[in-house]
Amino acid sequence: MPCTYRIFPGDNLVVFQHWGTITTAETMATLIAMRTDPQANPDHQYFVDFSRVARFDVDFGRMLSHVGWLTRQAPPRRDGALTALYAPSDVAFGVARMYQSTGDGTLRHAVGVFRSRAEAFAFLRIGDRPEFDIEPPLP
């Protein structure tokens, strides 16, 4: 699956790393796995890294469905929890902005979209560290 996560409880942070071609179904599967993780909690901030994505298999209809699913079934988040989407490429930035705009007013968490890791971590009020850069698993 081209998406993984790691929880850093001491930093109140979940890092999601995406690579290759990603779909909303794969993203949802990762969130379902995280929902059952004993370390997960509603106060965590999310850093979502799209820097290694080659292709997004998503359209507006799938994005709307994904946001709807998040409001009903995703791991619970506290009101105002922060999600930083690191989207350095033009395509990643556009997809991230589509998520941000379709979720505005619907999602409980605040979403920021950033072209640099530094800006994304500043939004989360957490300093970036090398261990937050998760390598994709070997094939």
- CATH of residue 89: 3.30.750.24
Domain hosting 23: range is 3-132
Residue 72: per-residue pLDDT: 84
For residues 42 and 35, give the distance between their C-alpha atoms in angstroms, rounded to a whole number: 10
Residue 115: per-residue pLDDT: 98
Instruction: Determine which of 9-13, 37-41, 134-138 has the lowest per-residue pLDDT on average.
Output: 134-138
- Whether 139 maps to a domain, the answer reads no
Q: Is the pLDDT of residue 139 over 80?
A: no
Look at residue 9 and give its three-state secondary structure. helix
1 pLDDT band, cuts 50/70/90, is low
- Whether 39 maps to a domain, the answer reads yes
10 pLDDT band, cuts 50/70/90, is very high
Number of domains in the chain: 1
**Which residue type sits at 122?**
A
- Whether 109 maps to a domain, the answer reads yes
Q: Percentage of residues in the chain with pLDDT exceeding 70?
A: 97
- Whether 19 maps to a domain, the answer reads yes
For residues 5 and 21, give the distance between their C-alpha atoms in angstroms, rounded to a whole number: 16
- Whether 137 maps to a domain, the answer reads no
Return all residues near 88 (Cβ < 8 A) that are at least 6 apart: 50, 51, 115, 116
Return all residues near 101 (Cβ < 8 A) that are at least 6 apart: none
Dump pLDDT digits (tens) for 50-108: 999 999 999 899 888 988 888 887 778 888 899 999 999 999 999 999 999 999 988 88
